[in-house]
Structure 1
């Protein structure tokens, strides 16, 4: 099975340094950049429930599933606020959240809570009968998914960075096997 974790298109919130709200549209139409990913017959496409993920998924497939396990992390009271201003107002809380997977100073989900949800998403993928699966999701979800798939410590996500429309390709022979990372490159 091949699993492609695709970061959704850029949003205005990303470009202006704000925590997402979940209903942002893509900043621009980037379907031409994703032409090589257009879903083949044996490909399952899954999207986060967030608008930008759904619209990105629609650029590569006529139909796709929405799976809440791959939704963005719940940023709690930080949702929609400027990242810089939040860091100035709550420096200890932001620092803790950026260093400790169990921190949830914002009242939303911790990274560890997100990881548990993403693990459930991986379990649902294991039940699919597909040779290829594309999951259109958020950068933080890709980080957590990669840590889960490669059995890395959850704190390893703090050293990862994924740009909009970048992809991570994982492969394995069967659900009993471990995942192997094939590449971490944007489809352009």
Structure 2
């Protein structure tokens, strides 16, 4: 069976030389299969969620914002951190859709779960599919910092697929979500996707 399997090499020592507001760096001495030890430095991360919001016209809701490490303004899916321990990821995703796009959805499913960069980070990401979109209610989120310049757009899925394959879009969450949705639609359909409260071993959460 082709399936990822939990396993852990023995760790001789572990240190955390840096801890920022959200993420940190951990340095482990890990025992290799030949008995030697190697140092593995990686980013520690609380995890994150993203929302591929699809409207009735098969358009995907995108946001664009500046990303300093790559010095680019990228088109992305609404997304955010799981910075509340044990938080239900669906609740976090609903919050991000409201805050970044002032939007709500009537139906939610799990689109895909990934590790964003497993060779250098323990970040786990769950991408939700949200349909039945409508404008949110209540006061809009009080944006600050780089969020003040967030732009939004709705782009047909077929166009997004073409842009991804042409190398015009680079955000990994957007690329993964776009291709996963296209695959789902051409395969078993959206009804075959997992429910929004499906277990997530990488980031266990409280149901409800």
TM-score normalised by L of structure 1? 0.30
Compare relative contact order (CA 8 Å, sep 6+) and give the higher one, 1 or 2: 1
Bigger fraction of residues in helix: 1
Instruction: Please identify the structure whose Cα radius of gyration is greater.
Output: 2
Structure richer in strand, relative to its length? 2
TM value normalised by structure 2: 0.28
